[in-house]
Structure formats: C-alpha cells, structure tokens
Amino acid sequence: MFAIIESGGKQYKVAEGETLRVELLKDEPESSISIDKVLAVFDGDNLQVGKPYLEGASVSCKVVEHGKAKKVVVFHYKAKKNIRKKNGHRQPFTKLVVEKIVTA
C-alpha cells in the first residue's frame, strides 16, 4: 500500500514505515502530524485518485528531526570583467516517518 501526498508544494510517494524529508514544518520533533493533502492511494488491488485531493484520506506521520541539507554553492561571474560572487545555501528540512495511511 502506498499513497501520493503533497507537502511544501512538492509531491511524495510514501508507504507505511518509510522515512522521508519534506520542506521545513513548524511542528516539534517527536510529535505526530496528519497530512490531509492525499492525491492518490493504491492498496494493491484498486487505485483511488482525488480531484485534486481524496476526501477523508490522510497520512499520519511522526516528526523525527529538523535539519539542513548539504550546502549548494552558487557562483556568479561575468567573463572578462573580474566580477565574481560566491554564495552558499543550505535548505532546511523536516524528517518524517510514515506511521499509517488512512483511506476514506
């Protein structure tokens, strides 16, 4: 059984017991959250697809930790002008463990 959920403007394919990284959420570590933006659920035999979301379906997750991803180096320059600028960025994330997928 798996579900397609939306969090932080991105879509993720999740299954029970799976760990995933989503955009930073405000919830505290070790707390439980419920994600109601479920786009589709597949239970092995049939596929339920929402328009755009499934009514009554949700995915309950446990917040494991917050962190930052690896640094991405952004380097701008203009050729033959001696203009160079180096920046870095670390995207914050929340690590979740999927506990249960509830269908309608």
Domain ranges for the chain, please list them.
2-66+93-102
**Is residue 21 within 8 Å of 95, Cβ to Cβ?**
yes
- Tell me if the bond preceding 52 is cis, omega within 30° of 0: yes
Amino acid at 74: V
Query: Distance between CA 93 and CA 81 in Å, rounded?
Result: 37
Residue 104 has pLDDT above 90, yes or no: no
**Is residue 64 within 8 Å of 97, Cβ to Cβ?**
yes
Query: Distance between CA 47 and CA 95 in Å, rounded?
Result: 27
- Chain-centre distance for alpha carbon 84: 34
* pTM, 2 dp: 0.86
- Chain-centre distance for alpha carbon 80: 42
pLDDT, one tens digit per residue, over 27-66 is 999 999 999 999 999 998 999 999 999 999 999 999 999 9
Residue 53 confidence (pLDDT): 95
